[in-house]
Amino acid sequence: MGRLVTLEEYILKSQNKFPGAKGELSQLLRDISLASKIISKEVNRAGLAQILGTAGSMNVHGESVKRLDLFANDQLIRALSRSGSVCMIVSEESEGVIRLRQSSAKYIVFMDPLDGSSNVDVNVSIGTIFSIYQRISHEGDEPGDMDLLQPGTRQIAAGYVLFGTNTKLLYTTGLGVTEFTLEPSIGEFFLSEEQIRIPAKGDILSVNEGNRRSWSPELKAYWNHIKSESPLTTRYIGSMVSDVHRTLISGGIFLYPESVKLPYGKLRLMYEGNPMAFLVEQAGGVASTGSMRIMDIVPTDIHQRVPVYMGSPANMTQLLSFL
């Protein structure tokens, strides 16, 4: 076994692949990893630290906010503020845009600080999702909507951190998907896999079956088909990071479709749909709304919702033939 490569070493080495790179993005990724280590430590001791349970407030989406949500949100904002390379942050936990003092900085970060936090109190795996864009406006001007409302194809980097039996960080800068695993005894992320590829076909379908009565006729037809003629095993955790990670590694499909109750879907485009679509596509998979590529959507709102269908290419081809 060769020498273990740390996340910082890997990022610095990868930086050389981008002509003219000045190190801001590398520093930004390192800052996100630092916040992730702090969050991971707190997740693992949450019960003892008495930060489980709700904070007694609701976020912009009308969802109950967990104490750990607020902790994760605060740690990431602090880390991104320190980098000096971020001018604006959009978080699931904040209704408006968080504008940082360094308004001339070049990057905008979208994030879901603690995806699947409804699982926190029952000790089920959760995660953090992030998406990074470069501003379009001149760096001397005040950043605005044109910088925020960019399609997913313009993402500079995206990734997620999975807090489970161990803590994993996966990210892409458009050159494939790389995975790192945290060694908690020394507080360091080490490279665990390069160029992750999603299996061409899988046998796991990840969806909340409880909503199927309100699905479209087309999706119900697909469901009936796979249950009778092309059986798939259903697995659903209720944390997008956890469900997509399993799909990425084992193959199959993850979906959170539109429904009568949620005509535009439930997941948010900018900090759930786009970053996960970027990762899935970079691993050789397909990510769609059911009618178009997720990353081609031109957003109209920072908290815009979108139906999500993503996974192995063979499975997605079959699914989209029904839709």
Cα dihedral: 25, 28, 34, 36 (round 10):
-90
pTM > 0.85: yes or no: yes
Quick one: which of 228, 223, 234, 203 has its CA closest to 315?
A: 203
Q: How many CB atoms lie within 10 A of CB 109?
A: 27
Query: φ and ψ at 79, to 5 degrees?
Result: -65, -45
165-200 residue pLDDT tens: 899 999 999 999 999 999 989 999 999 999 999 999
Q: Which residues pair with 129 in a beta bridge?
A: 112, 160
pLDDT in tens, 200-228: 999 999 999 989 999 999 999 999 999 88
Q: Which pLDDT band, with edges at 50, 70 and 90, does 18 fall under? A: low
What average pLDDT score do residues 141-151 get? Answer: 94
The per-residue pLDDT for range 52-77, each reduced to its tens digit, is: 445 444 455 444 446 888 889 999 99
| Gap between the Cα atoms of 83 and 67, Å rounded | 25
> Percent of the chain scored above 70 by pLDDT?
89
User: Is 119 a residue whose pLDDT tops 80?
Assistant: no
Confidence of residue 306 (pLDDT cuts 50, 70, 90): very high
How many whole angstroms separate alpha carbon 98 and alpha carbon 73?
12
